[in-house]
Each structure stands twice: as C-alpha cells, then as structure tokens.
Amino acid sequence: MSTVSPSADLTRQTAANLATAIASREVSAVEVTRAHLDRIEAVDADVHAFLHVSGEQALAAAAAVDESLQRGEAPASPLAGVPLALKDIVVQQGVPTTAGSKILEGWLPPYDATVTQRLVAAGIVILGKTNLDEFAMGSSTENSAYGPTRNPWDLTRIPGGSGGGSAAALAAFEAPLAIGTDTGGSIRQPASVTGTVGAKPTYGGVSRYGVIALASSLDQVGPCARTVLDTAMLHEVIAGHDPRDSTSIPQPAPNVVDAVRRGQSDGVAGMRIGIVKQLGGDGYQAGVSESFAQAVATLTAAGAEIVEVDCPHFEYGLAAYYLILPSECSSNLARFDAMRYGLRVEQRPDGTLIESAEQVMAATRGQGFGAEVKRRIMLGTYALSAGYYDAYYGSAQKVRTLIRQDFERAYEQADVLISPSSPVTAFAIGEKVDDPMAMYLNDLATIPGSLAGIPAMSVPSGIASDTGLPVGLQIMGPALGELPMYRVAAAFEAAYLAEHGTLVPDLAPALEGAK
Amino acid sequence: MIDFDEALELFDPVMGLEVHVELGTATKMFCGCPNAFGSAPNTQVCPVCLALPGAMPTVNAQAVEFATLIGLALNCEIAQLCRFSRKNYFYPDMPKNFQTSQYDEPIASNGHLDVDLGDGEIFRVEIERAHMEEDTGKSTHVGGLTGRIHGAEYSLLDYNRAGVPLVEIVTKPIVGTGKSAPVVARAYVAALRDLLLTLGVSDVRMDQGSLRCDVNLSLMRKDAGEFGTRTETKNVNSLRSVERAARHEISRQAGILEAGGTIVLETRHFDETTGTTSSGRPKETAEDYRYFPEPDLVPVVPDREWVEKLRAGLPELPWLRRARLQRDWGFTDLEMRDLVAADGVVLVEKTVAAGATPAEARSWWNAYLGQRANERGVTLTELPITPEQVAAVSALVRDGALNAKLARQVIDGVLAGEGEPQDVIAARGLAVVSDDAALQTAVDEALAAQPAIAEKIRSGKLQAVGAVVGAVMKATRGQADAGRVRELVLTTLGVEG
C-alpha cells in the first residue's frame, strides 16, 4: 500500500491512504483536516458544496484522534482521522441542520443521528454539512434554498442531486469521504455526473434514525468517495442494525471491504452480469451509451459473462415513484409547522399579527418551503386522498411489487445488473429548472432499484466523448447482495485504471487554478 | 326535547361506543420516554415524541402485549399480522401532524363483552375492533372565558402525553336495548373498566382521562329498519355521564325528529353540570385523514404461541370471578349486587382470607362500614380500616370476647385512628366481662334493687329475667355477656331455666 509523503497534497489522497498514514503517524489527523479546511477555504466560494463548515470542531476531533494514537491506542476504525463531508439532511448535535430548506434555518439539532454517532465513534472527522436539494427533492441541487452547488468539472453545470454538495465536495478534493442519502438516485446520479463513487446499500442497511425523512420507504443513507475501496470502508462504518430504526436490517454490516479486495485480485471471472434491456437506448445521451458500451467491453474482457435481461415493468417505475414519494413526503413534512422548531411566521406581509395556530402553520409553510417541495406535497396530498388512494398510491404500490419481481427474475440469470447511472452527463445550471418532468427523467435508471430496495452503486466509467464530462456505471445487486456489487465495482475500477493509467476522479479540471 | 319514555315509544336507539384507554406501560408507544401522569410540562419528551426532524418510532412491545391481552379478554380474534397507519391532520398538539394508529389492520377484531345490567340481566355487546394508537399532547388555552381555543389569547403546549399508548375499543352498533340504552352504555363502560383493571393494563382513571368514552347515538323510527344520522358525544369522563349523555341525546334527537327536523352529523360536548350536550364541530364533509401504511414501522406479527400463552395466563375475568365468589360465599343475588355496587368485593374477599366468615365480612362491610363511609362521603376502600382489622374484630365476637355493641365501638375506635382493635379495647376498656365473681356481685345488686321482680321470677315468670339482665348490662356498661348474666340470675334465684 502506498503511503503519503509529507510534501504530497493531502487533499488528493484516497481515504485509505490517509488513514494508513495517520495510523502510522506519518502525518497527523490535524494536518490532514487543516489541508481540507484550507482547500474548502480556497475553492468552496466557487463550488458551494458546503452549507456549514465546522472548522473548530473538525480540528478538535482530529486532535483527539492524534492524541489517542500518541498514547499508543489502536485507531478507533480503519478510517480514524479521515475527514468527511456530511449531507445536511443528517442531524448532528449542535451543528446547524437545514435539509436545504428555509423552514429549518438556524435549527440546532439536540441529538445525533445514528450515522453521525457511528462516524464520530470511528474517529472520522466531520468537516461540515453539504448542500442538497431542499429536503432531498431534486436531481441538480438547484432546489436548495441556499443556492446551487456547482460541478467541479465545469462550474456552469449542475453536480447532480439531491446530494450534489457531497459529490462536489469529493470531486473538488474538499473531502475524501462523504455521506449521501439516496431516495430515487440522490447518491448515484451525483456520483455519476461528478465522476465519483457512491453506493446505496440495501434498504434498511444503514440506519435512518436522525436522517430527515423524505420518503421513508425509499430513503437510504450511503457512502460516497472517490474510490471503490474508500466507499466500501465507509460503508462498513455506517452500516449494521440499529434498534432505533424499525426498518433496519437485523444483521451485521456486510464485509464489503473483503469483496473489494476480491474484485481487485480476482476480477469478475465467472460472474454473470446482466444488462437491463429497458435501461438504455432512447433518452440516453450518445456519449453515455458509448461509454456504457465500453464499460461492457471492459467487463467482458475481465472475464464476465454478459447477459441481457428483460424487466418489462421498469417503464412504469418513474410514474410509480412519483406517486409514492410525494405521498410519503406530504406526510413526513407535515411536522414542519412552526410549533416546536425552525421558522415561525407570525406576521402577514403587511405587518399585522396572525391570530390562529392554523394560520401560523399555513403562513410558515407557505414561506418556508420552496416550489418543488410544495409541488410534491400537493401531489402527495392528492394521491392519498380518500377517493384517489386506490387509483394512485395503491396502484403505485402494485407496480412496485411488479418491479421487485422483475428484479428477482433478472437475478436468476445474473449475479449483478448494470446500466448507465444517469441518462445524461451534467447539464447546465438553469437548463431544466422550469421543466420538472425533464428533471425527473434524470433518475430513470436509478429509480427501479430504489423501488425494489436493492443495493446499487455508481462508479466512474470514463468521459463522454460528446460533452467531455464524466459518465457513471450503475451496478445493482440483489437484495443484501452488496458483496457481488462491490466486487464488480472494484474489478471494473481496477480494469479502468489498468487501461487508462489514472482514475476518472483525478481529472476534475475546473478548479486547477485554485490549487 | 321530548320525554325519554315517550321517545322510546317512537324510536329505537342505536349506539356505538368508542372507548379510549391509556395503557399503563412503563414507557410511551414509540419511544423510551416514561409514561407518567402529572409531571411538569414537557419533561417527559425526546426527539421521537416531539417529532424532531429525523426521529423515528419503534413499537413498544409491552403495549402490544397489553393490547393483545385486551383483545383476548374481549373474545376477539388476534390478527396474524397487523400494521400501523398514519392518520394525517394538522393540530398544534400533535407533533408529527399525523397520528400513528391502526386503520384497516387492527390487532384485535370481532369480539364481545357480556355486560351485567345490574338486575341480573346480561346483555352481549359485540366488539368491532380494538386497535393501538398514540395519544396527542395537551393544549391549554389561556385568556379566554371558556378554556376553549376560541377567544383564547395564547395556548400552551405540553407534549408529555404525546405518544402515550392508547387502545381504542369500538363496539358494533348496539341495537335492541330499547329504553335500557343509557343503562347498557353505562354498564358496558363499567364492565370494561373492571376488565381492564383486572388485566392490569391501565389504571382506568376516568377523571384523569386514562379512560374516555365517545357515545355515538342515533335513532331509528320503529319499523323503519334504517339507521338514522348519528351524533358523536366526545370524551365523556364518568360512568354517570355516559348514562346521562345517552339519555339526553335520545330525548333531544327524538324531539327534533318529531318536530320534523333532521339530525346533523356532528360531534357534541357533554356538560356535566346541566347533563346536556351541545354542538361541537359539524361534519358536513367527511374528514379525509389520508390514511396510508406507516412506512417507518415494520408490521407487527404476534407470535401464535405467545398469543396462546397470554390467553392461558389471562386472569379470572371480573364477572366470572364474581359469580364464583357469590357461589363460594353463598350470597343471594341482591346481597352480591349491593356488595359490587359498593366496591366491596375485594374487601370481603380479603376479610374472609383473614379468617372471617363470608357472612361476617359482608355484614361488616355492607352494613356498618357502608354507613360510616356514607357519613364521611368516602368509598369503602378509603375508610381507614383494613380487612385484617375487621376479621380480628369478627373473631373476638365469635369467641365471646366482644358482643355486637362492643364490636361496633371497637370498629369506631379503629376508624378514629386509635390503633389496632386490641389497642382500642384496652384503651376504652371494652372487653366483655366474663368474670363470674364480678357478674355475681352485679346480679345480686340488681336483684336486691328490684325485689318484686325477683319474686316474679321465683314464681316462674321467666320473662321477667330480661329486666334484671338489662339492669346488669346497664351496670356493666354493656360489657357483660348477656347469656351468662341470665344463667347467673336463674341460678341465684334457684329457678330452673
């Protein structure tokens, strides 16, 4: 394993390498943290990946790791001392958490999410909270009430969404690790368009306790990084059963780091990899399709058997998703009512006092929520209403079952399935804001996996020849099939490195001047 | 309004009773906060019951057990799998702005409760369902005249009660009661209260809101065969009020219908002081709660073996227990009913266990102590005397150490806080005088004082003995054993008894 020389740019290192160097005290966690805080200072005005930077807390946490190592204690985890960017939808005690919404401006959570607790216990240094589409609704991070995040590959372009802040922080070398949440693709699509890695574990694989809910039956926390190994290492820190989350899988975290090592050493020889007929073709950018074909060729060359699988119900996935998600979010977001925390609007625009509790609630929600949030609350309220439940929500749940069955049949023929992660590379900021349907189509490839609750991840698969921007390869495992998924991801990454001599994420060009 | 009896000549009442029970679990329904009544506002709260962003519920296993016990005791089917749903509506004291409740998949359904109407008649109330849900917080509206939100200057919110586990027990429409409807309503809630107390799942304090009843009532014109429009009288909080509310609604609705009017589907409030109901919220359009399955909770799947174990371990139900005790004790129906009405069954049981005969125990509690309790305006259990003390006094009477009159004085001493029966006897000098020498002196004195009577007795007029015995009793301040005195009088006069 390579180590880090003191002169090297600490922000260009993998988390695995940084952790090794910190554990062997070649470099201190404080130095690593300071380097990343400096990088944030230098580039984040352009990128706007962060909504809040916890500089002092991060340095204190790093110092604690260094002191513990100085005392001769074993590192708290294989990632002890490594900095991380936390999506601002995961609560951290005493640190502002907004979920990208004005309605939570200034709120200081009085408690830690389980994920936060696990990160802290692992000695991971939390640098701050990253930007996102308001309440994780969006595919471009343009819906953040605090302004958009920009793609480090091209600052005029979106970094994907909703986890654009986390993905951009990785691509801009502001952090080597990040936490995302994925409801319909919010980890995978940003990873795809920023040339980074992001994994959505099996539904229930990581506790949602303390993660502000968008759609409870779809939300999943997951690890993000610039390499598959780093992603797997972070995965092991945050995954595993949590008694405070009833939907959490009552099993220990899967040993995905071992699966990565296996992929690096053994490749994909003998594995069957399925290409989903419905996830490609029309609606997919030429450069994306071309990159995907190359990825298939790479995997074939690495010894995989490629099969085509038919998932006929995927075409209804987007429609089902956009009934289930708004339904659940209309209910989940009802708690933001000005009574206990966050914004409270007590006056009308003309300065007169609002008299009743119901009107305070309405005024606060009217002012505190953005357009996309309101759109989805309205849709969900409608879809759940008495006369329409069966026609909309009920039917969507049936489609969900059919999609799950499509996957089950597909996994009879293949160990994992692959597709492009996103139908297009990063588009321009402002290009799709006025066209919600066009925006929703960005999650076409990721939504079926979300509806089925299976694990899925995006790994960089090169640069699109038509736009010069990163393309992501989506790898989907069967339920609880994180091991084959990570194995294929690691094997693909290794093959790509062997072919090209460098990994995609090392290339993000827009901020070179800022170094 | 028309007269109640007149109303029932024209209409058949149809009732639906919905009873909310706060479960006496250690912690709340979906979090680990203490489930305690009366704490300082907002001290029993956490991220989950305050619905802070990110917080998630987990199901309280003890609450599931209590709900299952209730279902089993009500002869319900226990669901193989049941789910929680969200009932969505906005209200300031409901932290999530949805209530986590059970909707179309309750834990228990299709049962019945046999209710004793008090005159020995048993009426079977069919149970539709019993489901689990959580309570809301509590608003206090300050500054208005009525204590209601309307007209208040501001409201205070206490979330201690938010998330307290509830079971809602819903009857099927109760028909065929005729003019017994109000009595059936009261007897049903009383029987339920008894049952829940016996199961140990709730403290069933109606005054503290841990048991609340909604009385739904409609009238059906005789021979019409069609249910009328109902009203829902909410949160009636005493047994007496349940009966009065039903009675009032029958008269009120009958009056409206007879005058050619129509009943409005609405909620109503019951006024304790006037015994009348008043209009609350009209339900012109059905409320749309947008129920859907709670995605944050996995379904509850009661293990069948566990359910059967609970069924086998059910305590003896109160009415079966009463029947058994009545048989064991040999009480008449009337005696038993009086005892039940006075809440004296457990006291008698304990007194018998402490050595008294059932007749002794019943006589003390139902007669003498009942009177004392009435005088003090308290219930039997609130009297400062224990079943053990009552049993001790009974034993002394049986042994001849006390006569009835002395025994009552001993009991009064105990009630007055003078200590144990023995302490009262010693302090007040109440023991029966059974010392023959002392009694002989008293007898001699009485005979000497009344020579004419002594002569009558000698001549065989034995009924005159009573006067001498009375004089002796008087002289000994009632502490003599009257039987023994009689013997001594006869012996002294040389007369055969």
pLDDT band at residue A436 using 50, 70 and 90 as cut-offs: confident
Query: Are B295 and A335 within 8 A, CB to CB?
Result: no
φ and ψ at residue B227, rounded to 5 degrees: -65, 145
Query: Are B52 and A111 within 8 A, CB to CB?
Result: yes
Question: For residues A298, A302, A305 and A308, what is the CA-based torsion angle, rounded to 10 degrees?
Answer: -20
Question: Is residue B17 classed exposed, middle or buried when 0-12, 13-18 and 19+ CB atoms within 10 A define those classes?
Answer: buried
φ and ψ at residue A221, rounded to 5 degrees: -80, 145
**Interface residue A211 vs chain B (CB under 8 A):** yes
pLDDT band at residue A2 using 50, 70 and 90 as cut-offs: very low
Q: Which of A215, A217, A331 sits opposite B98 (nearest CB)?
A: A331
Closest CA to B120 of B316, B329, B362, B334: B334
User: What stretches in chain B show pLDDT beneath 70?
Assistant: 284-285, 434, 497
CA distance A515 to A278: 42
CA distance B91 to B51: 13
Chain A residues with beta carbon closer than 8 angstroms to that of B155? 357
pLDDT value, residue A7: 52
Q: Which of B54, B98, B157 sits opposite A113 (nearest CB)?
A: B54
**Interface residue B61 vs chain A (CB under 8 A):** no
Gap from B288 CA to chain A (nearest CA, Å): 6
Query: Are B295 and A216 within 8 A, CB to CB?
Result: yes
Query: Are A334 and B286 within 8 A, CB to CB?
Result: no
pLDDT value, residue A343: 96
A293-302 pLDDT tens trace: 999 999 999 9
Q: What percent of chain A has pLDDT over 70?
A: 98
Gap from B323 CA to chain A (nearest CA, Å): 45
φ and ψ at residue B107, rounded to 5 degrees: -70, -30
Question: Is residue A189 classed exposed, middle or buried when 0-12, 13-18 and 19+ CB atoms within 10 A define those classes?
Answer: buried
Query: Are A243 and B58 within 8 A, CB to CB?
Result: yes
- Exposure class string for A395-429: b at 16+ Cβ within 10 A, else e: bbbebbebbbebbeebbeebbbbbbbbbbbbbbeb
**Interface residue B84 vs chain A (CB under 8 A):** no
- Exposure class string for B321-330: b at 16+ Cβ within 10 A, else e: bbeebbeebe
A76-93 pLDDT tens trace: 999 999 999 999 999 999
**Interface residue A142 vs chain B (CB under 8 A):** no
Note the helical H segments in A104-187.
Answer: 114-121, 164-171
Residues A58 and A127: beta-carbon distance below 8 Å: yes
Q: Which of A104, A210, A246 sits opposite B58 (nearest CB)?
A: A246
What is the average per-residue pLDDT within A177-185?
Answer: 98
Q: Which tokens go with A207?
A: 């506790």
Return the active site residues of A: 87, 162, 186
Handedness of CA A10, A11, A14, A18 (dihedral sign): positive
CA distance A235 to A76: 15
pLDDT value, residue B318: 82
A93-141 pLDDT tens trace: 999 999 999 999 999 999 999 999 999 999 999 999 999 999 999 999 9
Query: Are B56 and A246 within 8 A, CB to CB?
Result: yes
pLDDT band at residue A515 using 50, 70 and 90 as cut-offs: very low
**Interface residue B3 vs chain A (CB under 8 A):** no
DSSP state of A353: B
Residues B319-322: contacts with CB under 8 Å, at least 24 apart: B319/B114, B319/B116, B319/B191, B319/B194, B321/B198
CA distance A505 to A462: 9
**Which residues does B448 contact at the CB level (< 8 Å), separation at least 6?**
none
Query: Are A386 and B288 within 8 A, CB to CB?
Result: yes
pLDDT band at residue A4 using 50, 70 and 90 as cut-offs: low
Closest CA to B177 of B4, B14, B5, B17: B14
Identify residue B202 by its one-letter amino acid code: S
Q: What percent of chain A has pLDDT over 90?
A: 92
A318 sits in which H/E element: helix A317-332
Length of chain B in terms of residues written: 497
Chain A residues with beta carbon closer than 8 angstroms to that of B298? 246-247
The label of the residue with tokens 């909310």 reads B20
What is the average per-residue pLDDT within A177-198?
Answer: 98
Q: Which residues pair with A129 in a beta bridge?
A: A52, A86
Query: Are A334 and B95 within 8 A, CB to CB?
Result: no
A360-399 pLDDT tens trace: 999 999 999 999 999 999 999 999 998 999 999 999 999 9
CA distance A228 to A196: 9
A339-351 pLDDT tens trace: 999 999 999 999 9
C-alpha radius of gyration, chain A, whole number: 22
**Which residues does A418 contact at the CB level (< 8 Å), separation at least 6?**
A273, A274, A275, A276, A295, A296, A299, A473, A474, A475, A476, A488
Identify residue B354 by its one-letter amino acid code: A
As a three-state string, the secondary structure of chain B is CCCHHHHHHHEEEEEEEEEEEECCCCECCCCCCECCCCCCCCCCCCCCCCCCCCCCCCCCHHHHHHHHHHHHHCCCEECCCECCEEEECCCCCCCCCEEEECCCCCCEEEEEEEEECCCCCEEEEEEEEEEEEECCCEEEEECCCCCCCCCCCEEEEECCCCCCEEEEEEECCECCCHHHHHHHHHHHHHHHHHHHHHHCCCCCCHHHCCEEEEEEEEEEECCCCCCCCCEEEEEECCHHHHHHHHHHHHHHHHHHHHCCCCCCCEEEEEECCCCEEEEEEECCCCCCCCCEECCCCCCECCCHHHHHHHHHCCCCCHHHHHHHHHHHHCCCHHHHHHHHHCCCHHHHHHHHHCCCCHHHHHHHHHHHHHHHHHHHCCCHHHCCCCHHHHHHHHHHHHCCCCCHHHHHHHHHHHHCCCCCHHHHHHHHCCCCECCHHHHHHHHHHHHHHCHHHHHHHHCCCHHHHHHHHHHHHHHCCCCECHHHHHHHHHHHHCCCC
Closest CA to B134 of B229, B220, B67, B53: B67
Q: Which of B56, B97, B286 sits opposite A337 (nearest CB)?
A: B97
Query: Are A385 and B290 within 8 A, CB to CB?
Result: yes
Q: For residue A314, count other CB atoms closer than 10 A to its CB.
A: 24
- Interface confidence, given as ipTM, is 0.95
**Interface residue B286 vs chain A (CB under 8 A):** yes
pLDDT band at residue A1 using 50, 70 and 90 as cut-offs: very low
C-alpha radius of gyration, chain B, whole number: 31
Query: Are B292 and A331 within 8 A, CB to CB?
Result: yes
CA distance B125 to B190: 13
pLDDT value, residue A513: 59
**Interface residue B56 vs chain A (CB under 8 A):** yes
Cα–Cα distance list, A452 to A176, A206, A421 (Å) = 30, 16, 16
CA distance A70 to A24: 10
Length of chain A in terms of residues written: 515
pLDDT value, residue B280: 83
pLDDT value, residue B70: 98
Residues A317 and A285: beta-carbon distance below 8 Å: no
Chain A residues with beta carbon closer than 8 angstroms to that of B63? none
**Which residues does A223 contact at the CB level (< 8 Å), separation at least 6?**
A177, A178, A179, A180, A198, A199, A231, A232, A234, A235, A237, A238
Gap from B56 CA to chain A (nearest CA, Å): 6
DSSP A458-514: EEEEEE-TTT--EEEEEEEPPTT-HHHHHHHHHHHHHHHHHHHSS-GGGG--TTGGG
pLDDT value, residue B149: 72
CA distance A509 to A362: 46
pLDDT value, residue B284: 64
Please give the biggest Cα pair distance in chain A.
72
Gap from B265 CA to chain A (nearest CA, Å): 19
CA distance A420 to A445: 7
Closest CA to A196 of A486, A514, A504, A456: A504
As a whole number of Å, the end-to-end CA separation of chain B is: 72
Residues A321 and A450: beta-carbon distance below 8 Å: yes
B347-401 pLDDT tens trace: 999 999 999 999 999 999 998 999 999 999 888 988 999 999 999 999 988 887 8
The label of the residue with tokens 């027990």 reads B169
Q: Which tokens go with B330?
A: 């040999």
Chain A residues with beta carbon closer than 8 angstroms to that of B295? 215-217, 247, 328
- Testing the interface with A: which of B28, B156, B296 to mutate, by most A Cβ within 10 A? B296
pLDDT value, residue A5: 55
A411-426 pLDDT tens trace: 999 999 999 999 999 9
Q: Which tokens go with A503?
A: 């990994």
